[in-house]
Amino acid sequence: MKAPAKLYGVIGAYAEPEPLVAAARELRDAGCVELDAFTPFPVPELDEILDARAGILPWLVLAGAIVGALAVYGLILYSVEIDYPLNIGGRPLNAWPAYLVLAFEGGVLGAALAGFVGMLALNGLPTYYHPVFNAPAFSFARGDRFYLLVKHSDPKFAEARRLLKRSGAMVVEEVAE
């Protein structure tokens, strides 16, 4: 016989972003901390309530740009100054106006790769399994469901279901681990 699934949390579904924002604010004020919301399109009002931050992502992009540009310029300098110096009519080996074009492209490439990989890594994607997919109501198929999740580990979890119901959720479900 299968053991009963461990509880991950409880999820409430709303039809519009506004009730979700109101509910998130209400639950946070009631002392819930282990909250997450799932929306079919970005709802910036939730960022502050649920403390969603970009974190180091912008710095990663900047670092990618600098590393990319320096790596390309460094490679060129190594090739023209050390590995294969070629004196053509006494022209300077470090022809920086020409090399800046390539360093710029290297910087752009580094920044874009850092932004893309950094976004996925910080979000922990790809992750094909997540407990929230266990909730029968959880689907982006129609795009008219906005979800608020209270995790089991939340200190106020005992009250969460009641709070979600009272906040006007259309459906409130338990989410198995």
Partner 1 sequence: MAEAPAATAKLVRGQPGYPEISGRIGGIVLAGRLPAHFWWGFLFFFVLMLIFLFCVAYLIAVGVGKLGIDIPVVWGTMITNVVWWIGIGHAGTLISAVLLLFRQQWRNSINRFAEAMTLFALAMAGLFPILHLGRPWFFYWLLPLPNVHMHWPQWRSPLVWDFAAIATYVTVSLLFWYMGLIPDLAVLRDRAKSRPGQLFYGLLALGWRGSVRHWKRHQTAYFLLAAIATPLVVSVHSVVSLDFSVSIEPGYHSTIFPPYFVAGALYSGFAMVLTIAIPLRAAFGLKDFITARHIDNGVKIMMAAGLLVAYGYLSEAFVSWYSGNVFERYEVWTRAFGPYAPLFWIMLACNVGVLQLLWFRPIRTNMPLLFAIALVINVGMWLERFVIVVTGPARDFLPSSWNTATLTWLDYGLLFGSLGTFFALMFLFIRILPAISIYEVEELAHEEGAA
Interface residue list for partner 1 (CB under 8 A) = 16-17, 36-43, 46-47, 50, 52-55, 57-58, 61, 65, 75-76, 79-80, 83-84, 95, 98-99, 101-102, 104-106, 108-109, 111-113, 115-116, 118-120, 122-123, 125-130, 132-133, 139-144
Provide the minimum distance between the beta carbon of 107 and partner 1 in the complex, in angstroms, as a whole number.
9
CA distances for 81 relative to 30, 38, 75, 86, angstroms: 66, 54, 10, 8
- Residue 146 pairs in a beta bridge with 14
Of 3 and 29, nearer to partner 1 (C-beta) is 29
Cα end-to-end distance, the chain, whole Å: 17
Element housing 165 (H / E)? helix 157-166
Nearest C-alpha neighbor of 31 from the set 157, 161, 176: 157
Provide the minimum distance between the beta carbon of 52 and partner 1 in the complex, in angstroms, as a whole number.
4
Of 4 and 72, nearer to partner 1 (C-beta) is 72
